[in-house]
Structure 1
């Protein structure tokens, strides 16, 4: 898999029926290793190891309904009070981050009302809040560590 602009991680990998699988330590199961999954697993480890977010507050592929359609967020980090605090949208490294990507995460946030939004393809990372009053994104330089985000 491609080297990402995230700290390297040691993952448990295995092969099954000519497919490579990666162990998801949060969901405690092996998943097919797609380029997007590679980014998602790296980003979860980044949140835990580098930014100190507790594993117990992180959900992967949380289902929600948007305009009558069932969707799944890649990563949601909850606050200590159990409300969505951060939504992370992961794309494969080969996928360019576009306005459509930001529109997608903004639609999810209409339901979840998280404080921070993250869009990443593993190579580029964008951090922002949504200024609802002025209908625009306010970009941040970095994602705050857990202690400063509660």
Structure 2
């Protein structure tokens, strides 16, 4: 798999019927190793190991309803009160981060109402918050520290 713009992490892999799998420490199972999954697993380890976000408050690839459609978010980090601290949208490294990707996470966030958002293709990372009063994005140099 392609080198990404993250620290190097240790992953568990397995192969079965000509498919490669990577172990997801949040879902506690092996999942098919696609380019997008490679990015998602790096983000999970980045959030856990570098940012020290709590594993117990993280969800990966869960279904949500957005405008009467069923969608799947990549990563959500909750607070202990159930509010959402962070939503992450992962794309494969060959995918550009376009306005369409911003629109996608914005649609998800209409339902989720997260404080912080992250978009990444593993090579480029964009962090931002939504200022509800001004209805504007505030771009960040890095993700904020987690607090309950």
User: Which bin holds the TM-score, normalised by the shorter protein?
Assistant: over 0.9
Superposed CA deviations along residues 34-91 of structure 1, whole A, max 9, x for unmatched, are 0000000110000000000010010001211011110011000001212111000000
User: How many angstroms apart in 1 are the aligned matches of 2:94 and 2:21?
Assistant: 20
Q: Show the counterpart of 2:70.
A: 70
Q: Show the counterpart of 2:127.
A: 127
Q: Equivalent residues in 2 for 1:1-150 (5 A)? A: 1-146=1-146, 149-150=147-148
Structure 1 unaligned blocks of 5 or more: none
How many residues are paired up?
Answer: 148
User: How many angstroms apart in 2 are the aligned matches of 1:29 and 1:93?
Assistant: 23
Shift of 1:145: 2.4
User: How many angstroms apart in 2 are the aligned matches of 1:115 and 1:58?
Assistant: 15
Q: TM-score, normalised by structure 1?
A: 0.94
SS of the counterpart of 1:20?
strand
User: How many angstroms apart in 2 are the aligned matches of 1:70 and 1:132?
Assistant: 25
User: How many angstroms apart in 1 are the aligned matches of 2:137 and 2:36?
Assistant: 24
User: How many angstroms apart in 2 are the aligned matches of 1:61 and 1:124?
Assistant: 21
Over 6 Å off, 4+ runs: none
Q: TM-score, normalised by structure 2?
A: 0.96
User: How many angstroms apart in 1 are the aligned matches of 2:54 and 2:131?
Assistant: 27
RMSD of aligned residue pairs (Cα, Å): 1.1
Structure 2 unaligned blocks of 5 or more: none
